[in-house]
Amino acid sequence: MSDNSAVAAKRPHGIETQRSILLAAGRVFSRMAYSEARLKDIAEVGQISQGSIYFHFGNKDDVARAVLNAQTERMKLVMDEATSGEATGLDKLLSLFVSISELISEDVLVQGGIQLAMQAETGLTTESSAPYREWIALAEALINEGIGDGSVHPIADSRTTAEALTQLCIGTQAVSRLEDEWRSLPDRMAKQSAIIRRLLTGGQ
């Protein structure tokens, strides 16, 4: 982000313009391959000038990085909300998966970030993998919390289990994306959660 855009971002109009650019970029990146997407496409979707995109963000890489950062922030907020309170470790874990699925189905910025993360040619490996590393770490912590409070059957390797569950959820995301652009994801994840509950409680 340029020095000029940092100043503009503090002004109400600048904040709204940056928001419009990010939403437009999310829509474009969620529907087009990164290599094919152009700033012109983002400008047309957002009904803004390319010059405004350059002013507020810079080139396409900078816009993509901003989308990924926004995805990380929004997913972290949902993670924090889903895992707060006095619920058991298992209930927090299932709430985490369902809440993230609802976010993905509704938030075009998160959708754009997910699609960017699946494309190696973006060159943004560190940024794109951050939400998933956090997701796995949080899932592992909740599994261990569940073992401690008795809601989860003792597991020899909670890290591997957390990775497997996260991969299951990512696979569900991918299927939902292909089938109906994530609209069915919350329902799919609710059904997966029932299976996860049985697996983690030893079939109880």
- pLDDT tops 80 at residue 7: no
Rounded to 5°, angle at Cα 54 from 28 and 30: 10
Q: How high is the pLDDT of residue 42?
A: 97
Residue partners of 23: CB distance under 8 A and separation at least 6: 46, 108, 109
Q: How high is the pLDDT of residue 119?
A: 82
- Read off the pLDDT of residues 115-144 as tens digits, 9 standing for 90 and up: 998 887 777 765 667 778 888 999 999 999
Of the pLDDT bands very low, low, confident and very high (cuts 50, 70, 90), residue 204 is low
Q: How high is the pLDDT of residue 131?
A: 78
Q: Out of 1.10.287.70, 1.10.357.10, 2.40.30.10, 3.40.640.10, which CATH number does the structure's domain 3-200 have? A: 1.10.357.10
- Read off the pLDDT of residues 57-104 as tens digits, 9 standing for 90 and up: 999 999 999 999 999 899 999 999 988 889 999 999 999 999 999 999
- Read off the pLDDT of residues 135-173 as tens digits, 9 standing for 90 and up: 899 999 999 999 999 999 998 799 999 999 999 999 999
Q: How high is the pLDDT of residue 11?
A: 58
- pLDDT tops 70 at residue 3: no
Six-digit token string for 54: 């350059």
Six-digit token string for 6: 């940092």
Q: How high is the pLDDT of residue 129?
A: 72
Greatest Cα-to-Cα distance within the chain, rounded to the nearest angstrom: 59
Query: How large is the average pLDDT for residues 184-196?
Result: 95
Contacts of residues 158-165 at CB distance under 8 Å and 24 or more positions apart, as own/partner, are 161/200, 162/136, 162/137, 163/136, 165/93, 165/97, 165/139, 165/196
Q: How high is the pLDDT of residue 128?
A: 64
